[in-house]
A = this chain, B = another copy of it.
Amino acid sequence: MTSFADDIEPGGADRRSRRRAETKAEILRLAVEEMAEHGAAGLSMSRVARRLGVQPPSLYKYFDSRMALYDALFGVGQRRYLRTARRAAEQAPPGLAGFAPVLRAGARWSAENPVLAQLMFWRTVPGFVPSERAYAPALDLRRDWEARVRAAVERGELGAGAAAEEGLDLLAALIAGMVSMQLSNEPDAGFEGSRFLRHVDRIPALFAAAYPPPAEGG
């Protein structure tokens, strides 16, 4: 998470809009620093402005309101999280064996971007409701998982209910639990050596225990 440059609309070849996009990316970067210090809900326009070296009202040339800034951060986080999961999925084996690498990649991203993860997964900022546009990648990711679980069911590695809403909810709760414990108890611990995220690799087996395949395939 060193740069947000590639996550803001490119803004054409126009020199002005290029500079504008750079400034927006810089603001997002500073906002994440702010949130790391004061908590995800503790983002202050004034403090971000001070960090940027301008007066507070100038920030409103780039983001219409504090909530708009949150929405941009939420959107960037969701896009990055989705991209991370998809990259891991590309190299993962098919079927149930591919679950762990993808889950691990998501858990690692959350541990490395704890304030964005809080904003995205907990929604605890008073008054903030993400826009449809910013939320869209989360729906894409859920559809990815639905397809992945269905494939494992078709391979005879999981019971049929696993791919229904109920099963997907359980799977989501399993990963959410480990990430939640991480974020609330050791937000600065990182992925390696985390007390809670080391359990992520057990999720496929737990999930299979909840939805065992119908019989032993030949």
A40 to chain B, nearest CB (A): 6
Inter-subunit contact B125/A39 (CB<8 Å): yes
A122-160 contacts to B, CB under 8 A, are 122-127
Inter-subunit contact B124/A118 (CB<8 Å): yes
A196 close to B (CB within 8 Å): yes
In the bound assembly, the distance between CA atoms of A38 and B127 in angstroms comes to 7
A121 close to B (CB within 8 Å): yes
A97 close to B (CB within 8 Å): no
Q: Can you name the residue of chain B whose Cβ is closest to the Cβ of A44?
A: B126
Number of copies: 2
A193 to chain B, nearest CB (A): 13
Inter-subunit contact B169/A173 (CB<8 Å): no
Question: Considering only CB atoms and an 8 Å cut-off, how many residues of chain A contact the other chain?
Answer: 35
- A199: B residues at CB distance < 8 A: 169-170, 173
Given contacts A172-B181, A173-B199, contact A126 B205 (CB under 8 A): no
Of listed A38, A121, A176, residue having the most chain B CB within 10 A: A176
A86-144 contacts to B, CB under 8 A, are 118, 121-127
Q: Which of B124, B174, B176 contacts A41 (CB 8 A)?
A: B124
